[in-house]
Amino acid sequence: MSDANTPSIKKRTTPAWGLYQRENFWKLNEGKTPPFNTDPGKLEELAEETLSRGGWYYDSSNAGKSLTHLANRQAFYRHRIIPRQLVDTNERDTATTLFGHKVSAPIGFAAIGINKIYHPKGELPVAKVAGELNLPYCLSTAGSTSIEDVAASNDIGAALPSAVNPSDRPDTDGPPRFYQLYMPHDDELTISLLTRAYKSSLTIYILTTDT
């Protein structure tokens, strides 16, 4: 296998998403192993060892006997990737358009509340990485960091020298920022949250109706 740092591709307009896998595959030749296991069950075990007791209970809680959680995971496992063989893959582009924004790939960062359970800086590092990779980021109403600070961190990531910045997206101001709203009973509070989100360029809103 070739060196993971020189995959011999001619041109890419979006990040080499598979490079992490190549790097870890190559590390075996150097007697190294990845820092964590990507198996969901193993990640849960690591989280239980690392998080505080309260943090683990919050993170791992599901309704009832977790049957819906299990069904969702089994449904995900039923999806299959069908590879296309003998096609030219030298020039690859995973970019797509979402709500008028050119993003690097059709994936994004979901709304997860109370991120300070997992890291002292809360949502800030995640928002920064999303900006750097030009991927959509969604902030939860239950976020542990202010709307304004999260937006600023997203901007910082997008402005990094290493940031993905497709040259063919002059009509947009970066990846879309979502705001997931748990609608308060107080209308003034709802308006305040949405106004702050809008002023911070979180202009796509998701209304959660099951909570």
Same domain, 123 and 202: yes
Q: What is the DSSP string of 40-104?
A: HHHHHHHHHHHS-HHHHHHHH--STTSHHHHHHHHHHHT----PPPS---SEE---EEETTEEES
Q: 99-141, pLDDT tens digit by residue?
A: 888 899 999 999 999 999 989 999 999 999 999 999 999 999 9
Q: How many domains does the chain have?
A: 2
Same domain, 106 and 167: yes
Same domain, 73 and 109: no
Q: Which of 77, 104, 124 is the last residue of a domain?
A: 77
Q: Report yes or no on 1 lying in a domain.
A: no
* Average pLDDT over every residue of 36-40: 82
Same domain, 63 and 132: no
Same domain, 202 and 145: yes
Q: Report yes or no on 4 lying in a domain.
A: no
The pLDDT, as a whole number, for residue 164 is 84
Using DSSP's 3-state secondary structure scheme, residue 34 falls into: coil
Using DSSP's 3-state secondary structure scheme, residue 201 falls into: coil
Same domain, 100 and 197: yes
- What is the DSSP secondary structure assignment for residue 139, as one 8-state letter? E
Distance CA 49, CA 203 (A): 38
Burial category of 154 from C-beta neighbours within 10 Å (exposed 0-12, middle 13-18, buried 19 and up) = buried
Residue 1 scores a pLDDT above 70? no
What range defines the domain where residue 72 resides?
11-77
Q: How many residues does the chain have?
A: 211
Burial category of 153 from C-beta neighbours within 10 Å (exposed 0-12, middle 13-18, buried 19 and up) = buried
Same domain, 116 and 192: yes
Same domain, 42 and 108: no
Looking at the whole model, is its pTM more than 0.75?
A: yes
